[in-house]
Every structure is written in C-alpha cells, then in structure tokens.
Chain A
Amino acid sequence: DIQMTQSPSTLSASVGDRVTITCRASLSISTFLSWYQQKSGKAPKLLIYATSSLQSGVPSRFSGSGSGTHFTLTITSLQPEDFATYYCQQTYSAPDTFGQGTNLEIK
C-alpha cells in the first residue's frame, strides 16, 4: 500500500492567515491526489482533485500543488468556516489511502 503522511498534525492559525498543509507519498503518485475537509461529525467534503483542480463550489482561497511524492494544500486568508480537519488521499493505486489528517484550529 502507498503510505500518505501529512504535516503538521495540528496547525494553529488566525482568521486572515495563509496556511499550508503538506502531504507526502511513500512512492510517486504522479498528480493523483485529492484533498478533503471534514468538520466534526460530518461527512468529508471534496476540495481539490488531481492535485490542483478545484471542485465546483469550493472557494478560490483553496489551492493545491505538487507532483510525485510531495504535495501541498494552501488556504489564503483563512475564514472562520475553514477551521476543520483536512485529509489528503492518493488515487494512484488501490487502496486509495488517506493521510492521517491535519487539524486546523483557531489560535
């Protein structure tokens, strides 16, 4: 299985900040990477697929980049509704493994 490692596990930030979450794959996954946002007790929400394609309806302050084994999710100008847990997922090869999650909390 491909292992996905996110960093940091927890990130404290303030409204208006720019934040970056990193995701590393244990082997090259080209650009087959998605990002999800999950709020407590709710279903995850797709933010980005294929590394940098913004899902319909997702605000443009979310962006993704990377290739191979190193990927990032960037949120510019954090909004109150952005405080949540974020997961990366590789879709290169089944099982489509997730990272362990990054909890974005209010500073």
Chain B
Amino acid sequence: EVQLVQSGAEVKKPGESLRISCMTSGYTFTDYWITWVRQMPGKGLEWMGRIDPSDSYTNYGPSFEGHVTISVDKSIGTAYLQWNSLRASDTAMFFCARLFEVRQYGMDVWGQGTTVIVSS
C-alpha cells in the first residue's frame, strides 16, 4: 500500500526554525515528485513547491521562494519542508502529496497533513 505519513503537529514561536517530514512507503520514491501544499485556517489550497527526488530539482511558488526549503533524503524515502525563521502567518496545515509526472497527472496520494502553529 502506498502511504505518505507526515510528522506530528508543531507549536513554535516566531523566529524559530522548523522542519516537518513526509515519510513515503509502498512505491519507488524516485519515480514520483513530492509537492507541498499549504492550507491556512478556513482557507483554500495553496501550491508551495515540488521536488524531484531523483535529482532534488525543485520548483517554488513565488509566495514561498526564499522562505521555505524543500528537500529529500532518498536513502529513507522522506521529503522535508523547512523554515529557518517562522512567522505567525506560517500558521497552517501543510500537506505533502506525490505526483507521477509534471503537467499530465494530478497528485494521487496525500499525506494526512501536519498542523503548524506559530505563536508568541
């Protein structure tokens, strides 16, 4: 069974750093992109960026570039979303999802989501 299992909820202070994870299983990790999606409380879905685990090539959405870093560890089939300095406006639910091929396909398997709360 294909699974994407995300790390647990986090409560952090502004300015702190954070890395959340997306652990995959049941498929060949390097055959699928991993995308990260943000959902702020009561709001819609926002595409943050994606990574090709085979070579770590990344695309970022303009609202997120420079503020977050997407990375992978191929040896353990895990993707990461990282902040060096959190803001209160980063409070949201974050989802990872896999994508077989850019353009032609949709994101067919999703993680359960990770809630991040940033508050002083």
Contacts and interface: CB of A to CB of B under 8 A. Distances in A.
Residue among A35, A43, A49, A94 with max Cβ neighbours from chain B (10 Å): A43
Contacts of B45: 36, 38, 44, 87, 89, 98, 101
Contacts of B8: none
A36 B47 CA distance: 13
A21 interface: no
A44 B46 contact: no
B54 interface: no
B62 A1 contact: yes
A55 B97 CA distance: 15
Interface residues of B, number: 25
A55 B106 contact: yes
A32 B103 contact: yes
A67 interface: no
Contacts of B102: 91, 94
Contacts of B30: none
A1 B14 CA distance: 29
B29 interface: no
Nearest to B46: A98
Given A49-B105, A55-B108, A101 B44 contact: yes
B104 A44 contact: no
Interface in B64-120: 95, 97, 102-108, 110-113
A1 B49 CA distance: 13
Interface string A63-78: 0000000000000000
Residue among B45, B60, B61, B62 with max Cβ neighbours from chain A (10 Å): B45
A93 B85 CA distance: 29
A48 interface: yes
B40 to A, nearest CB: 12
Interface of A: 1, 32, 34-36, 38, 42-46, 48-50, 55, 87, 89, 91-92, 94-101
